[in-house]
Amino acid sequence: MGAYIVVASLVLLVCILLTLIVLVQSSKGGGLASNFSSSNEFMGVRKTADFLEKSTWTLAVALLVLSLFSILVIPRSTSVQTGNTELEELYEGVQPVQDFTPPPTGEATEE
């Protein structure tokens, strides 16, 4: 159960980071790179775009790997291994329906 919580937390963290990285990017090449377009740049426009693109791909691959890994750590129910699922247990507790004949639809005539 502990490994499942760790993997689920990592998936959530990667999703949030990926969302933020994608929102920072601009579809027309602006985004974060356009905010730093002064003459004394630490990172050029192209380097910022490269960094954001590499970050996007890295986080996307990390999300894929964590999603596939989560299959291995999902907690399994013990009742499935014994052949008794919750649905089967509910089905066993249901009483069969008695035969029901509806009353006649026509009005009864009393003589």
pLDDT, tens digit (0-9, with 9 covering 90-100), for 2-44: 888 999 999 999 999 999 999 988 776 555 555 555 544 555 5
pTM: 0.54
pLDDT at 80: 46
pLDDT at 101: 77
Residue ranges per domain, the chain? 1-32+42-74
pLDDT at 3: 86
**Burial class for 66, CB neighbours closer than 10 Å (0-12, 13-18, 19+):** middle
**Residue 63: band (very low, low, confident or very high) from pLDDT cuts 50, 70, 90:** very high
What radius of gyration, in Å, describes the C-alpha atoms of the chain? 30
